[in-house]
Amino acid sequence: MNRVTIIVPSYNPDDKLEEVVKGLVEDGFEDIVVINDGSKEECLSHFEAVKQYKEVTLLVHEVNKGKGRAMKTAFNYVLQNRPESIGVITVDGDNQHKVKDIRYMAEQMEKDPDFVYIGCRSFKDKKIPWRSRFGNNTTSNIFTYVLRIPISDTQTGLRGTPVKYLPDLIETRGERYEFETEMFFTLKEKNIPYKETTIETVYIEENETSHFHPIRDSWKIYKLILAYGFKKLFSFFKFMASSFVSFLTDWGVYSILLLLLTDRLEDKITLAIAVVSGKIVSSVLNFFLNRKVVFKSKSGMGGTLVRYYILWACQTACSYGLIFLLGKMFPEGSVVVKIFLKPLVDIILFILSYQIQKRWVFKQEKN
């Protein structure tokens, strides 16, 4: 257990914080970082109590900065002072996470430190406070079916993160509870793999000790979800604009060559020259627009370029083949028909191209 750092952010704790730390120490955890996030003076005795354990390092915020900032402070501390650590596990200080579940997560991180581990509770039990059951089920469904981020427990505080992903999380937006939501967006955008581990569902005193504000903090979380959704929609609109500009360039070159070369060369050769030439000219413009403006890819230029032109070659072949086959259906006025068949064919290819470019060509590289 000495290769995993336990992080316990805490604000105005009671004696449950001492129970959490005692249980971790007794179970063999040797590196525990507790963060006092600007707690009231009457709560400081609990921090003094846990500080007595040699396994505990106490970090202090002089004023309350929020759970997200407390976690980032601890992440940064681990990066600077724990070179031997393989990762961190964040644990709530209200004794809602069982030591056996924390130990199991630590064991999984030791076996495979390439994944972020999410400790997920079951919300089927009717004894769970309704606000927690309703809130989590609603958010989980939005994440899974709307945002395409499958997760069964979006509000869990028990999460195991390998050290190599901590810099990404430190840069993630959010200072309070919303940070834990933003974390999932970071995993999605950075292509960081994650796994769920089942943990025991514990609610003490109907979760009255939680500092989560149902209205204020829920609004912050759902505001982030809306912002993320609009961000993805805006990205698609930018892709549409980039594709439209590139299409006009492609169509213009294609149409001019088709008009110039028809009756001078064989139909197959004329069509091939027009299609390929239009694609070549427009592809250079499209590549740089998509890389810099639409997907803002930071992947290596060489690999991205190779993937792009593999897709480009496939699209060009499909465009030629579909226009040629459909053109055979209209032997009369074939030049005009072929000119106006191209937009139809390219719309079909455009829909497929967006997903391929987003998920493969300009994908964010794993750290």
Distance (Å, whole) CA 262 – CA 215: 68
Round to the nearest angstrom and report the end-to-end CA distance of the chain. Answer: 25
Q: What is the reported pLDDT for 22?
A: 94
Distance (Å, whole) CA 247 – CA 264: 26
Q: What is the reported pLDDT for 144?
A: 78
Residue partners of 318: CB distance under 8 A and separation at least 6: 345, 349
Q: Is 119 exposed, middle or buried (0-12, 13-18, 19+ CB in 10 A)?
A: buried
pLDDT digits (tens, 9 = 90+) for 265-276: 888 898 889 988
Work out the average pLDDT over 25-35.
94
Q: What is the reported pLDDT for 164?
A: 94
Q: What global pTM score does this model have?
A: 0.63
- Residue 345 tokens, joined: 């064919």
Q: What is the reported pLDDT for 367?
A: 42
Residue that wins the pLDDT comparison between 85 and 147: 85
The residue ranges of DSSP E strands in 242-306, in sequence order, are: none
pLDDT digits (tens, 9 = 90+) for 187-229: 988 889 999 988 887 755 544 545 445 555 555 666 666 666 6
Q: What is the mean pLDDT of the chain?
A: 83
Nearest of 119, 99, 78 to residue 28 by alpha carbon: 99
Across-strand partners of 162? 87
Which of the following CATH numbers is that of domain 4-212: 3.90.550.10, 3.40.50.12780, 3.40.1180.10, 3.40.640.10? 3.90.550.10
Q: Are 90 and 78 in contact (CB under 8 A)?
A: no
pLDDT digits (tens, 9 = 90+) for 272-303: 899 889 989 999 998 888 888 777 776 677 78
pLDDT digits (tens, 9 = 90+) for 303-335: 888 988 999 899 888 888 888 888 877 766 567
Q: Are 24 and 102 in contact (CB under 8 A)?
A: yes
Q: Are 66 and 176 in contact (CB under 8 A)?
A: yes
- Residue 354 tokens, joined: 């967006």
Q: What is the reported pLDDT for 188?
A: 86
pLDDT digits (tens, 9 = 90+) for 80-122: 999 999 999 999 888 888 899 999 999 999 999 899 999 988 7
Q: What is the reported pLDDT for 310?
A: 92
Q: What is the DSSP string of 270-326?
A: HHHHHHHHHHHHHHHHHHHHIIIIIS---S-HHHHHHHHHHHHHHHHHHHHHHHHHH
Distance (Å, whole) CA 104 – CA 137: 25
> What ranges do the domains of the chain cover?
4-212, 231-361
